[in-house]
Amino acid sequence: MLKYRILTGSLLIAGLLGFVWLDASLDGTGHRLDSGGLLALLCAVLIIPLLARETCHLVRSAGGAPSLVVTIVGSILLALSMWRSGDGAMAVPATIMAAVLMLGFAAGMRNRDPKGSILAASSTLLATGYSGGLLGFWLLLRSEHGAWVVLGAILTVKMADIGAFTVGCSIGRRRLIPWLSPKKSWEGLLGGILAAMVLGGVLAHFSSHLAEGDRYDIVTGAVFGGAAAILGLFGDLIGSAMKRDAGVKDSGAILPGLGGVIDTLDSLLVVGPLAWWMLA
């Protein structure tokens, strides 16, 4: 399992670096994929549909009744509308969420029976907000800053995961929340916070080589790292709660050694709003 985890993780990192380099090379070219369009395209055609599918599967397994079609389409439109809003205007995203709510009700009554319509609407809204709304903050951040800023924020969040895992496995003794995630420890949490703060500060220091609007001071980088580690843990716990409620170990099996898309992105999704508010 560890062998596959390392191999899959290494391939994902290599692919991410190559993608960010390509995305960054389009900035200032006047190409239609300028300002994060390439990232938005990747999310729309691959990441969001997979994420929405896994989310709907978990919600259904937990007793919900989300509409897969409404969730996928709504999540894509929601994330793209946040990316195109640029300045953070939320009128269009809010309208999309309202449409998702109404279509969720309609899907719940497709058999001409209103029983279960509230459950269908609420679970569709939940799945759409989780799959499209949280991811949309990363697209919003990319619309205002370069691809290297987004990469730095992602690496900082994942460094918290690596630090927590390493320290927790090495010296972790006091369990953090044993009834939800037995392997997590207070020592691991502190290790993740320190690791993310160090990397956040280092990346902020080297951001002086980026464009003027993409530069951050070391304190901002370190504070973001610490906050991202804590919020990322909350995102991981949300993912654990969803899987336990659904009665499954992993959200999927698309990534050998890592599980599903939710297993890989759960911490990043929740940190998205923080990344935009602190770095945009």
**pLDDT tens-digit series, residues 144-154:** 899 999 999 99
Checking if the pLDDT of 86 tops 60, the result is no
Chain center to CA of 261: 9
Q: End-to-end distance of the chain based on CA atoms, in angstroms?
A: 38
User: pLDDT at position 10, please?
Assistant: 80
**pLDDT tens-digit series, residues 266-279:** 999 999 999 999 99
Cβ-based neighbour number of residue 91 at 10 Å: 9
Q: Is the separation of the CB atoms in 79 and 43 below 8 Å?
A: yes
User: pLDDT at position 53, please?
Assistant: 96
* Nearest of 1, 48, 56, 46 to residue 251 by alpha carbon: 56
**pLDDT tens-digit series, residues 172-202:** 888 988 888 888 999 999 999 999 999 999 9
State the average pLDDT for the chain. 90
* Nearest of 47, 49, 107, 95 to residue 73 by alpha carbon: 49
Which helix H or strand E contains 181, and what residues bound it? strand 181-185
The angle at the Cα of 74, spanning 113 to 59, to the nearest 5 degrees, equals: 60
Q: In this structure, is the dihedral angle defined by the CA atoms of residues 60, 95, 50 and 47, taken in order, positive or negative?
A: negative
Question: At residue 193, what is the residue type?
Answer: I
DSSP H helical ranges for the chain: 2-25, 37-42, 48-61, 68-85, 91-108, 117-128, 134-144, 147-171, 186-206, 218-246, 261-279
Chain center to CA of 245: 20
Per-residue pLDDT band at 126 (split at 50, 70, 90): very high
User: Structure pTM?
Assistant: 0.92
Percent of the chain at pLDDT exceeding 90: 64
Residue range 15-32: mean pLDDT, rounded:
80
Per DSSP, the three-state class of 154 is: helix
Cβ-based neighbour number of residue 221 at 10 Å: 27
- Stretch among 31-35, 103-107, 123-127, 236-240 having the lowest mean pLDDT: 31-35
Checking if the pLDDT of 59 tops 90, the result is yes
* Nearest of 200, 208, 171 to residue 188 by alpha carbon: 171
134: left (phi over 0), alpha (psi -120 to 50) or beta: alpha
Domain boundaries, the chain: 1-31+147-280, 35-144
Residue range 211-235: mean pLDDT, rounded:
95
Per DSSP, the three-state class of 67 is: coil
> In Å, how far are 9, 35, 74, 119 from 195, measured between CA atoms?
18, 30, 36, 41
Checking if the pLDDT of 164 tops 70, the result is yes
User: pLDDT at position 211, please?
Assistant: 87
Residue 89 or 238, more confident? 238
User: pLDDT at position 246, please?
Assistant: 94
Per-residue pLDDT band at 30 (split at 50, 70, 90): low
Checking if the pLDDT of 33 tops 70, the result is no
Q: Which two tokens stand for residue 133?
A: 């709304």
